[in-house]
């Protein structure tokens, strides 16, 4: 079960979809391509019926998926996993045969099949009570705004969770029940993208290279060499990950969550993980060591389907990033001075086509550390914006300034499409109207 390649399953859903929609598929694909280009959110439009003929049949025979036309709101009465009283969203009750159940749902909702392999739902979350840090909620709002901006620009859905779905799975364990629930709530999405609340998108143009992950079910940032050679629990980061919506992932979360505080095996795992990773000084089991353990010790079962992304900042440590933002700003302004196409004002919705022009100029920029490309995701590990209990390695002010700087650096890429920019990355309130042909 664990070794199956979920992707081939979904590909077969895709080809079934072709049979279902039959002769109108070409028209639908064209309409879909146009429509998905125009609309950032695949679920925002109540229905998009390409011709009056399909509109008529959709209204007359709503039970028959062949004739429903292109409709993203239609839910036929045919039973699906949602109608099974034994189906549970909770972690206690594992999901079985998810690939078949999801496939069955998709057959009944063929409008969601085109483009499914690139559909992403971002999830993030924070606690259900006010932050202890007096400005914590303000910071979380800014981090959330940053994610909403990124999702709007790229047409991704976003779900923010602020309750402990399993009360004993607190802190970093809370994401597991949220990810499971999101998979069940979004059978139409192929990838669930967990992004910690204290991580910010600092390159609004960069898109996940999903093609690279087509044979994998889980993507996380790290250094493969360090896992296998140094056995370090910090060789990876569990704060940002991409997980495919499939049975393998359900099984992974079942295995992974057995290491958590709600599990009778919690103490046992604390000991195992402490023994396995020499650099892990605390004795409690934690999600990141757990994941590192599965990569290291259960490579055949789990590791081989996990992609450890080290080429670009799938997430990056803020301490190594924030100091480079001023130079990166200068570099990008330099490129814009020399490239008229990048100075052209344009609608936010067509931003992705300007990202392609940027790519021509960023060929030599490199990726990740020592590169002058904008870092994709800057993660404020250790800053604890909500509680304020930051790691004693840095002062609260250092963390605060760094967060302001990264968030304003990102905001400048967004606000610019609205005609304004921050003058100073450390001043969040002051903006100026961007002059025509800026920065020539």
Ligand X SMILES: *[C@@H]1O[C@H](CO)[C@@H](O)[C@H](O)[C@H]1NC(C)=O
Q: Which residues are registered as beta bridge partners of 431?
A: 422
Q: Which residue is nearest to ligand X (CB)?
A: 327
Residue 118 or 371 with smaller CB distance to ligand X: 371
For residues 309 and 244, is the Cβ–Cβ distance under 8 A?
no
Residue 100 or 326 with smaller CB distance to ligand X: 326
Q: Where are the beta strands (DSSP E) in 314-411?
A: 316-317, 377-379
Shortest distance in whole angstroms from residue 198 CB to ligand X: 22
Stretch that binds ligand X, among 75-83, 106-114, 323-331, 348-356 (CB under 6 A): 323-331
Angular region, 388: left φ>0, alpha ψ -120 to 50, beta rest: left
Stretch that binds ligand X, among 236-244, 249-257, 319-327, 338-346 (CB under 6 A): 319-327
Shortest distance in whole angstroms from residue 373 CB to ligand X: 13
Instruction: End-to-end CA distance of the chain: give it in Å, rounded.
Output: 58
Q: Which of 12, 90, 215, 327 touches ligand X (CB under 6 A)?
A: 327
Residue 215 or 327 with smaller CB distance to ligand X: 327
Angular region, 225: left φ>0, alpha ψ -120 to 50, beta rest: alpha
Residue 118 or 324 with smaller CB distance to ligand X: 324
231 binds ligand X, rule: CB under 6 A: no
For residues 389 and 239, is the Cβ–Cβ distance under 8 A?
no
Shortest distance in whole angstroms from residue 426 CB to ligand X: 16
Residue 87 or 333 with smaller CB distance to ligand X: 333
329 binds ligand X, rule: CB under 6 A: no
Residue 415 tokens read as: 């606000």
For residues 78 and 63, is the Cβ–Cβ distance under 8 A?
yes
324 binds ligand X, rule: CB under 6 A: yes
Stretch that binds ligand X, among 157-165, 181-189, 320-328, 431-439 (CB under 6 A): 320-328
Q: Is 281 helix (H, G, I), strand (E, B) or coil?
A: coil
Cα–Cα distance between 48 and 100 in angstroms, integer?
A: 27
> What is the size of the binding site for ligand X (CB under 6 A)?
3
Name the one residue in this structure whose structure tokens are 């044979």.
215
Binding site for ligand X (CB under 6 A): 323-324, 327
């Amino acid at each position: 079960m664990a070794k199956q390649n979920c992707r081939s399953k979904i590909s077969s859903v895709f080809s079934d979809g072709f049979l279902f929609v039959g002769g109108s598929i070409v028209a639908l694909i064209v309409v879909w391509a146009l429509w998905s280009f125009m609309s950032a959110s695949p679920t925002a439009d109540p229905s998009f019926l390409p011709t009056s003929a399909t509109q008529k049949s959709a209204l007359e025979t709503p039970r028959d998926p062949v004739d429903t036309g292109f409709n993203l709101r239609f839910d036929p009465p045919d039973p699906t996993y949602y109608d099974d009283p034994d189906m549970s969203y909770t972690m206690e009750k594992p999901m079985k045969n998810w690939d078949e159940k999801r496939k069955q749902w998709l057959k009944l909702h063929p409008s969601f099949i085109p483009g499914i392999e690139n559909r992403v739902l971002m999830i993030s979350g924070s606690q259900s009570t006010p932050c202890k840090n007096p400005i914590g909620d303000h910071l979380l709002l800014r981090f959330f705004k940053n994610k909403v901006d990124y999702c709007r620009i790229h047409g991704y859905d976003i779900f923010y969770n602020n309750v402990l779905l399993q009360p004993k799975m607190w802190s970093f364990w809370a994401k597991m029940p949220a990810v499971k629930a999101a998979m069940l709530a979004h059978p139409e999405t192929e990838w669930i993208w967990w992004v910690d609340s204290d991580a910010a998108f600092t390159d609004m143009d960069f898109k996940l290279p999903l093609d690279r992950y087509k044979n994998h079910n889980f993507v996380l940032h790290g250094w493969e060499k360090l896992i296998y050679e140094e056995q370090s629990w910090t060789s990876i980061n569990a704060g940002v990950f991409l997980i495919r919506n499939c049975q393998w992932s359900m099984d992974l979360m079942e295995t992974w969550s057995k290491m958590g505080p709600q599990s009778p095996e919690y103490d046992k795992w604390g000991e195992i993980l402490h023994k396995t990773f020499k650099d892990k000084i605390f004795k409690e089991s934690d999600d990141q060591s757990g994941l590192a353990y599965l990569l290291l010790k259960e490579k055949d079962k789990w590791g081989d389907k996990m992609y450890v992304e080290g080429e670009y900042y799938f997430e990056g440590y803020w301490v190594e990033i924030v100091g480079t933002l001023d130079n990166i700003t200068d570099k990008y302004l330099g490129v814009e001075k020399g490239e008229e196409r990048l100075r052209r004002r344009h609608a936010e919705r067509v931003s992705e086509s300007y990202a392609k022009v940027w790519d021509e100029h960023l060929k030599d920029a490199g990726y990740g550390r020592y590169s002058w490309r904008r870092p994709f995701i800057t993660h404020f590990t250790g800053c604890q914006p909500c509680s304020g209990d930051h790691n004693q390695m840095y002062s609260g002010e250092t963390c605060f300034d760094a967060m302001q700087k990264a968030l304003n650096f990102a905001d400048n890429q967004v606000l610019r499409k609205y005609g304004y920019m921050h003058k100073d990355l450390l001043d969040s309130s002051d903006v100026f109207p961007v002059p025509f042909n800026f920065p020539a």
